[in-house]
Amino acid sequence: MANRTIIPFGPQHPVLPEPIHLDLVVEDERVIEAIPSIGFIHRGLEKLVEKKDFIDFTYVAERICGICSFIHGQTYCQGIEEIMQLQVPDRAKALRTIWGEMSRLHSHLLWLGLMADAFGFESLFMHCWRLRETLLDEIEATTGGRVIFGSCKVGGTRRDVTDAKLAEIVRILDGMEQEIRDITGVFMSDSTVKHRMRGVGIITKEEAQALGAVGPTLRASGVAQDMRTLGYAFFNKINFKTITRTEGDCQARCEVRIDELFASIDIIRQVVAQMPGGAVDVEVKGNPNGEFFSRVEQPRGEVVYYIKANGTKNLQRFRARTPTFANLAPLVKMLQGCDLADVPVMALTIDPCISCTER
Amino acid sequence: MSLFPMTGTILKSLFRKPATRAYPFVKRPHIAKTRGSIEIKIDACIYCGMCARKCPTTAITVDRATRTWSIDRLRCITCNGCVDVCPVNKKAPGSCLAMRESYTTPTGTRETEHHQGPEKAPAAAPKA
C-alpha cells in the first residue's frame, strides 16, 4: 500500500481566488478523500438585519456576492414584497428579469474564462472575458454599476430603461451570439479541452439528488430543476426550456452553462418583445410582518432566503442558503478517487463562490 | 471533434484592432449613468441630515451648528441612497446632492472631506 500524504489546497491557490481550503488525502497521485474547511471570510451579514432597516438592507443583500449581486438583491426584495403583499408593476418585473439574465450571462462568461484558465488555455480565457466586457458596458449604461447593479429596491426598481436602450441591448446581444458560438465551440469540440473534462468528476443523478446539488451541477447530472420555472418576476410569460445533460461529468457541467448563455439571450429577447409600460415602482408603506422563503435561480443554482419580520423596521431573522454551499457536498464526493492534477478543474466546475457561502 | 476550432478566431484576431485600450494615452469615456462619486452643492444644503441618517455605511456626517457636510470617500459605496432621499433634490433634482460619473482620485490615506457652507443669512427683521 502506498503512503498516504495530506496535500493542502487553498485557501490561496492560483486557480481559485476564493478562500476555500481542502485537505487532500492522497495515495501517490490519487486523491482518496477531500476534507473541506471554510470560514476565512465570514462577514456576519445576516446579523446586520438587526441594525439596518429592511429597505436599506437591500444594499447589504446585493453585496453578499460580487457576481450574482443583482439576483441577491432581487431575491431579498421579492421576499419582502411577498410578506408585505406589494403589487410590483409588470415593467419592474420585466426589468428585473432582463438584468437577472444579463448577470447570468456575465457570470457564465466569467466562469468559462476561469475554466479555460484552469486547464491552461490562456487565449480562450481572454476571449471569454473580452465578450463579457461588452456585456458589462451595457450593464453599466443601464444600471450605473458594472457588478454591483444597485438597481433593485423593495417595491420595484430604482431606475427605468428606455425602450430605445432595450432595443439596442437586443441588437448588441444578437451580434454577440455568433461570437459566443465561435468561442464556446472550442469548449464543445476541442480535443485537448475534452481530454481534461470528459469523464472527469462524474456525479450520477442519484448522487446529485442525494447530496443536494443545485444549478448547473444538478442539471448536468440529468435532473431538470430550475427555479425559474416557478414563474417569479416575468418568467411566467416566458417560454424557455430547462437545459440538462445526462453525463454528469465536468464537460456536461460546462455544456449546460454554455447552452444557458444562449437560453438567457433568448429570454432577454422575449422580455423586450413583450415589454410592458407604466411605472417601475410602488410606494412602500408600513413594516413587514410575517415570514417567507424566497427561492430564485442564480447563475450558480438555487438561492434560498429565509426572511422573518415582526412588524418593526428591522427584520427579526434573515438566513441565506447560497448555491455554492449546497454544491460543496457534491464537490467532496467527486474529488474522491480523482487524480491530483484534476482537482483544480473539478473544484471550478461547481463554480464556487465562497464569499457567498460564508456571507 | 476537431483539432483546430480556434483557427477562425485566431485569424479574425490577427486582422482586428486590439480589444484593449492604450491606457493612459486613451482613456475610457465615462458612461452617463455611472455611479462614480457623490458631489454636493453646499450652498443649497439645508443641513437636514437625511443623507447621513440614510447612508448605509455612515460615510456622511452633517453638522448643523457649524454648517459642515463631510464625507469619508473610502467608506462611501456610491449606492445613490443619499441623492434619492435629499429633500432639496425632491424639489429640483441635482440641486444639492448629485452623482458624478467620474470616480475620485486614488488615495493611500483615509481622509474625511469637509465642505463648509456659507454663513447663515441673518433672519429678516421683525416687522414693527
Give pLDDT tens digits for B72-116.
Answer: 888 888 888 888 888 888 887 878 888 888 888 888 888 888 888
pLDDT of residue B127: 58
**A110-126 pLDDT, tens digit each:** 999 988 888 888 888 88
Is A318 contained in some domain?
A: yes
Answer yes or no: do A191 and B6 touch at CB < 8 A: no
pLDDT, one tens digit per residue, over A143-167 is 888 888 888 888 889 888 888 989 9
Other CB atoms within a 10 A radius of the CB of residue B120 amount to: 9
Does residue A153 belong to the interface with chain B, where contact is any CB pair within 8 Å?
Answer: no
Q: Is A150 on the interface with B (CB under 8 A)?
A: yes
State the best of A122, A182, A194 to mutate against chain B, taking most chain B CBs within 10 Å: A182
Instruction: State the CATH number of the domain containing residue A321.
Output: 1.10.645.10
pLDDT value for B17: 86
pLDDT at B123: 63
Residue A19 lies in a domain: no
Give pLDDT, residue B126.
61
DSSP secondary structure string for all residues of A134-203: HHHHHHHHHHS-SS----EETTEES----HHHHHHHHHHHHHHHHHHHHHHHHHHHBHHHHHHHTTSS--
**B125 — pLDDT class (breaks 50, 70, 90):** low
What pLDDT does A10 receive?
Answer: 77
Is the pLDDT score of B12 beyond 60? Answer: yes
Residue % of chain A over a pLDDT of 90: 21
pLDDT at A262 over 90: yes
3-class secondary-structure state, position B83:
helix
**Dist. CA A160–CA A182, nearest whole Å:** 33
Cell of B112: 474625511
Q: State pLDDT tens for residues A291-319.
A: 899 899 999 889 999 999 888 888 888 88
CATH topology of domain B45-104: Alpha-Beta Plaits (3.30.70)
The answer, yes or no, to whether residue B40 has pLDDT greater than 80, is yes
Model confidence band, residue A108 (pLDDT cutoffs 50, 70, 90): very high
Distance in angstroms (rounded) separating the CA atoms of residues B30 and B97 = 19
Coil/strand/helix, residue A335: helix
Mean pLDDT in residue range A61-90: 89
Average pLDDT, whole number, for chain A? Answer: 88
Task: Rank A100-109, A112-121, A339-348, B118-127 by mean pLDDT and report only the highest.
Answer: A100-109
Give the closest residue to A269 by CA, choosing from A192, A174, A348, A202: A174
What is the torsional sign of CA A89, A95, A97, A103?
A: negative
If one compares A174 and B120, the residue with the highest pLDDT of the two is A174
Asked if omega into A11 is within 30° of 0 (cis), the reply is yes
Q: What is the pLDDT of residues B58-79, one digit of tens each?
A: 889 888 888 888 988 888 888 8
* A126: closest chain B residue by CA: B19
Q: Which of B62, B72, B53, B80 is nearest to B117 (CA)?
A: B62
- For residue A26, being part of any structural domain is answered with no
| Helices within chain A (DSSP H only) | 57-62, 69-84, 90-118, 122-143, 163-189, 191-197, 205-210, 215-219, 250-273, 323-335, 343-349, 354-358
ipTM above 0.85, yes or no: no
| CB nearest A144 (choices: B1, B2, B34) | B34
Q: Is A329 helix (H, G, I), strand (E, B) or coil?
A: helix
Task: Report if residue A256 sits inside a domain.
Answer: yes
pLDDT value of residue A105: 92
How close is the nearest chain A Cα to the Cα of B122, in Å?
A: 38
Specify the pLDDT at position B121.
67
Whether B1 has a pLDDT exceeding 60, the answer reads: no
The domain total for chain A is 1
Q: What is the rounded end-to-end Cα distance, in angstroms, of chain B?
A: 97
Q: Examine residue A346 and state whether it is found in any structural domain, yes or no.
A: yes
User: A46 by DSSP, 3-state: which?
Assistant: helix
With beta carbons less than 8 A apart as the criterion, state whether B47 and B62 touch.
Answer: yes
Asked whether the predicted pLDDT for residue A175 surpasses 80, the reply is yes
Backbone angles phi, psi at A106, to 5 degrees: -70, -30
Rounded CA separation A243/B118 (Å): 63
Question: Which range is most confident: A10-19, A87-96, A342-351?
Answer: A87-96
Backbone angles phi, psi at A40, to 5 degrees: -85, -25
The B residues from 36 to 95 touching A (CB cutoff 8 Å) are 54, 56, 77-81, 84
A1 pLDDT tier (thresholds 50, 70, 90)? low
Domain span at A341: 40-358
DSSP helix/strand/coil, A262: helix
A195-221 pLDDT, tens per residue? Answer: 888 888 888 999 898 998 998 999 999
pTM for the predicted model, two decimal places:
0.87
- Of the listed ranges A36-40, A252-256, A269-273, B123-127, the least confidently predicted one is B123-127
